[in-house]
Amino acid sequence: MNNSEPELDKEGFLKNLSDWNDDVATGLAINENITLSEQHWEIVRLTRDYYCDFQISPAMRPLVKYIAHKLGKEKGNSLYLLKLFPGSPAKTVSYTHLTLPTIYSV
């Protein structure tokens, strides 16, 4: 990322949540060798919706339940999310750049 892009903290999350936009998410995903498809965007937007609804960044289990409630069990499961975000479904939080999930905060 270059100097004209938003400032990130040491964990790679935006220091100012209002700096987030689709271009920022796309750039962050590219840095992880992921091209965001419409399926990715659906999860990214739901993760941001979760934050708006509950004012906290989701830990994985509540996020999976939220996705299942909104999109059905076919998409609301860890295996589906692992296919989209290899290595860790928690990567969706990094592309939405909310904050660290509350469970990890100290």
pLDDT digits (tens, 9 = 90+) for 5-59: 778 777 777 777 788 889 988 887 887 888 999 999 999 999 889 988 888 878 8
pTM: 0.79
Predicted local confidence at residue 36, as pLDDT: 93
Number of domains observed in the structure of the chain? 1
Note whether residue 18 is domain-resident.
Answer: no
- Provide the sign of the torsion angle of the four alpha carbons 50, 103, 61, 78, taken in this order: positive
Note whether residue 92 is domain-resident.
Answer: yes
Predicted local confidence at residue 106, as pLDDT: 41
Note whether residue 4 is domain-resident.
Answer: no
Note whether residue 77 is domain-resident.
Answer: yes
Note whether residue 3 is domain-resident.
Answer: no
Predicted local confidence at residue 3, as pLDDT: 47
DSSP code for 58: P
| CATH code for the domain of 87 | 1.10.10.370
